[in-house]
Structure 1
């Protein structure tokens, strides 16, 4: 591996001079600069990113911690954030935690080790103590969605209670549902709990019946198995299903089909996230959209504002909206 010392020896200058030239800080004649750059090009030298970041105490690398890319929602969100970062000359280091605390710990240590510019975090397993440790080291943070909102640092919050309320109210009023079931993600998953709170509020206001709350993994199989098991054991007890994400809803719709339950004639179904697949499922899935078209720009604007203000807390909330498709139509539709 070619080092700065090799470049210095071949150029006949000090390693400090080579470093200044590579970092475009001058301090050498035009002839020396041209000579060093020519040797760098000839040898194919690549600067050590970590060492340069530590020496300069700055970075164009932004850590993005997400629970996993198997869920299309987080894959789409990550892509939008990366595109917005690219337009600002920044680079995203994607940290896929798989919702495992050990992996979260690894990535938090990594962020500290290479002095990233800051961190954008969506994780159930990052708490206020973790955020305080990062911010105290000058690694400013922005949490979003699934992370806690009440901490004293920057946060982007989606009002999932409002989203759950709107979807359930639609099923009751326009879908003519009176016996509704909620299929949730894992226990203590904050966004699911908020959506469930909105569901209960709409049901209570309308005098409808909350038949069951089923807890499962965020997966097609999870939605399928939860819905199929309950509907087999309690035939005719449910006329509407609200799921805390689209993947669960698509799994639940498949279960209904396998049981001979027609959607939307016999059962109305509502999802959450408005992933691309929702528009192409059969029937097309009604859902809650929580991502404005410019969500990547909003996140990066909030992040950069936080960094430039040396960690001054910035708080912003987003209210989701309904996307009505075939799966929530009334019986006669």
Structure 2
């Protein structure tokens, strides 16, 4: 009997230990799995200033290249995308949310988005998605040696090629207008180059500035009365109001030479524009290199893309009564893009 009672006592102790340990083990298991899950799925924040075809193409290229490099949204990473729709206060709020979420890496598409991210978080790597002049925008100390948590891709509109194209298409034009945002450092830098080069091609440059997209309608009406052609720089405000500009220029038969092929497709006449999707791919590559530990932003030079691809819009040419030179059309057919 004593042996039986002893056995029952030992069995009771063992069952008690098992009872109290089992829930503890069950409770800790999900935590361990969750920790492992989080470690395997870093969060990538992508902040875009606003929507228009050129910026949307950059975003598409970024995500596609990240996927090709093994960073698949919902599987190996979580991609957190925010679009501020041109609202500066939205940019700040979204950048702060990324910091709260502890993103492993951020990508800023267009200068205002990149600036908001840089001002909010100085720790997480920041990859610039097609910023015209990172140094002038205060994003890096030096484009060759950033020295901070920031690196990325710089897009430089080939201004000289653009002017050569305008002169080739419009051999008799003298008065060239440019419309840009007065507060946009990237647009200002491009216009500075334009002012220097325009006289070399026989153009008298007329500058028109806007404070926001609401100004484009009135400024466009004024511009078409004073110039024979309009140059549109890399300017997100003008890009978002391009149709407003084209409504006035088409009516006045004033051709527009925009900064990107997407803007030519939307109604511009011609451009030596940068491939926006390719800019996104380059941005995605730099982000993937940082995530894989192959590079460090502080030691990685800004990658500058400045080679344009010719795009022409034949429908726009017919509507404007302009006959595109055969050499221009041939080049676009062979090495660029032709929008019928």
TM-score when normalising by structure 1:
0.69
- Larger-gyration structure (1/2): 2
Secondary structure, counterpart of 1:115 in structure 2: coil
Residue aligning to 1:181: 177
Shift of 1:190: 2.4
Q: Structure 2 unaligned runs (5+)?
A: 1-19, 141-145, 325-340
Report if the CA contact (8 A) 1:246-1:287 is conserved: no
- The question of 1:63 aligning with 2:19 is answered no
Report if the CA contact (8 A) 2:55-2:110 is conserved: no
Secondary structure, counterpart of 2:182 in structure 1: coil
2:219 to 206, 216, 226: 226
Q: In structure 2, what is the Cα distance between the partners aligned to 1:240 and 1:16? A: 69
- The question of 1:110 aligning with 2:92 is answered no
- The question of 1:20 aligning with 2:2 is answered no
1:214 to 209, 212, 231: 209
- Higher percent of residues as helix: 2
Q: In structure 2, what is the Cα distance between the partners aligned to 1:125 and 1:249? A: 19
C-alpha RMSD over aligned residues: 3.4
**How many matched pairs?**
275
CA deviation profile, 1:70-116 (whole Å, cap 9, x unmatched):
x2222222222222233322342112223444323322222222221
Matches within 5 A, 1:157-176: 157-160=154-157, 163-176=158-171
Residue aligning to 2:83: 96
Matches within 5 A, 1:1-333: 13-21=25-33, 53=38, 56=39, 59-69=41-51, 71-87=52-68, 88=70, 89=72, 90-125=77-112, 131=118, 134-136=121-123, 139-146=124-131, 149-150=134-135, 151=140, 152=146, 153-160=150-157, 163-176=158-171, 177-184=173-180, 186-215=181-210, 217-218=212-213, 223-231=216-224, 234=225, 237-244=226-233, 248-258=241-251, 261-262=252-253, 267-275=254-262, 278-279=264-265, 281=267, 285-291=269-275, 293-307=277-291, 308=293, 309-314=295-300, 315-321=302-308, 322-326=310-314, 327=316
TM-score when normalising by structure 2:
0.68
User: Comparing both chains, which one has the higher relative contact order based on Cα–Cα distances under 8 Å and sequence gaps of 6 or more?
Assistant: 2
Shift of 1:168: 2.6
Secondary structure, counterpart of 1:84 in structure 2: helix
